[in-house]
Amino acid sequence: MNEASRTTPRIRLGTRNSPLAMAQAVETAARLCAAHGWTEGAVELVPVLASGDKVLDRPLSEIGGKALWTKELDQWLGEGRIDASVHSAKDVETIRPSEFHFPAFLPRADRRDSLVGAASIAAIPHGAIVGTSAPRRASQLLNLRPDCKVVTFRGNVATRLGKLEAGEADVTFLAAAGLERLGQSAVGHPLGQDEWIPAAAQGVIAIECLAANAQVTALLAAIDHAPTRAELEAERALLAELGGTCHSPVAVLCQTGDGEPARSRLSMRAALFSPDGTERIEGTADFAPGDHAPVRALAADLLARATPGIAPHFRAQNLQNGG
């Protein structure tokens, strides 16, 4: 038995047991060990089978929303079976239980969507079947390519690639960050942000723990990335103000500027869609990190301009429905 295996874990990280979730947990553990000078055995990874990984034949919005990715980890965290949870930030509900908080967000990876099966939106064959279960991807695609047909496509990266290979669809979307973390970037074609707006929080790994656990909070805070936190908190503030849920076709791009003084500013572009893609409204905001007043103003402007096909999907009461 080597020294690492004899080490009593200093922290137990809960994670979904999909290959991508495990890769994210491994990255988190490595960053914690580097930050604190720990040996590998100081961080224990505790996998859990999430409800969202059990039912793959229906859209997430029909079977319980984003809470299906978090509820088992929440239960284990509350019971003390784990010390912290590792999440894909875009899979976490906008409103979280008050007993939890996020001491750390890791540096954001590629936030773009990758297209698998075609080199660009324009290159998708006419009338193609496109597999996705994300309302944002479906509506944004139909807005640009109304000739395409969207079919439900769920599962981890390998499952979706297998469905594509089996001919269940001609094209699908995957997060560029996920492909990168799995060493499969060559599979897809990242979509330019001028044409295609990604999801809020895409590319970010979030680490959550009990708000009352000061010791674990301090350990995790050592790997927090402030620029990523500023972007993510602004994006989540927009979703909260919109009443956006897993049912809501909303795309958000929030970026920190390059160089000084631009680096101290954030720019946000957001678009809302009708589910069938025929209606689309956009807006932008520029603001300092932590100043969410312009973000709230952007949300108010978008809601004020929401068309009949868009407005019903962005009600404040949606926040009670698990998105």
Query: What domains are defined for the chain?
Result: 3-105+204-224 (3.40.190.10), 113-190 (3.40.190.10), 231-321 (3.30.160.40)
- CB 154, CB 161: distance < 8 Å: no
Rounded average pLDDT over 30-35: 97
Please, what is the angle between helix 214-221 and helix 19-36, to 10°?
Answer: 90
Question: What own/partner pairs with CB < 8 Å and gap ≥ 24 does 30-38 have?
Answer: 31/106, 31/223, 32/219, 32/220, 32/222, 32/223, 35/222, 35/223, 36/10, 36/219, 36/222, 38/10
Which two structure tokens, joined as six digits, stand for 270?
A: 């957001």
Whole-angstrom Cα Rg for the chain: 20
Cα 264–Cα 267–Cα 272 angle in degrees, nearest 5: 155
Beta bridge partners of 207: 86, 104
pLDDT at position 317: 40
Model confidence pLDDT, tens digit, residues 44-78: 999 987 554 445 455 444 544 445 568 889 999 99
Q: Cβ contacts of residue 189 below 8 Å, gap of 6+?
A: 114, 115, 116, 118, 119, 120
pLDDT at position 7: 57
pLDDT at position 63: 45
pLDDT at position 259: 58
What whole-number percentage of the chain has pLDDT above 90? Answer: 76
pLDDT at position 19: 93
91 given a catalytic annotation: yes
Residue 180: strand, helix, or coil: helix
Beta bridge partners of 97: none
pLDDT at position 50: 58
Q: Which of 83, 91, 110, 113 is catalytic?
A: 91
Is the pLDDT at 30 greater than 60? The verdict is yes
pLDDT at position 190: 97
Query: Is 207 or 55 the better-scoring residue by pLDDT?
Result: 207
Which two structure tokens, joined as six digits, stand for 266?
A: 């954030």
Alpha-carbon distance of 55 to 233, in angstroms, equals 30
Q: Which of 28-32, 105-109, 202-206, 240-244 has the lowest mean pLDDT?
A: 240-244
Whole-model pTM?
0.88
pLDDT at position 2: 44
Alpha-carbon distance of 118 to 115, in angstroms, equals 6
Rounded average pLDDT over 20-39: 96
Residue identified by tokens 């402030």 is 226
Which two structure tokens, joined as six digits, stand for 62?
A: 């029909």
Alpha-carbon distance of 316 to 243, in angstroms, equals 4
Give me the chain's average pLDDT, please.
Answer: 89
Q: Pinpoint the alpha helices (H) of the chain.
A: 3-6, 19-36, 60-63, 67-79, 135-144, 157-165, 176-181, 214-221, 226-242, 293-305
In one letter, which amino acid is 171?
V
Is the pLDDT at 87 greater than 70? The verdict is yes
What whole-number percentage of the chain has pLDDT above 70? Answer: 87
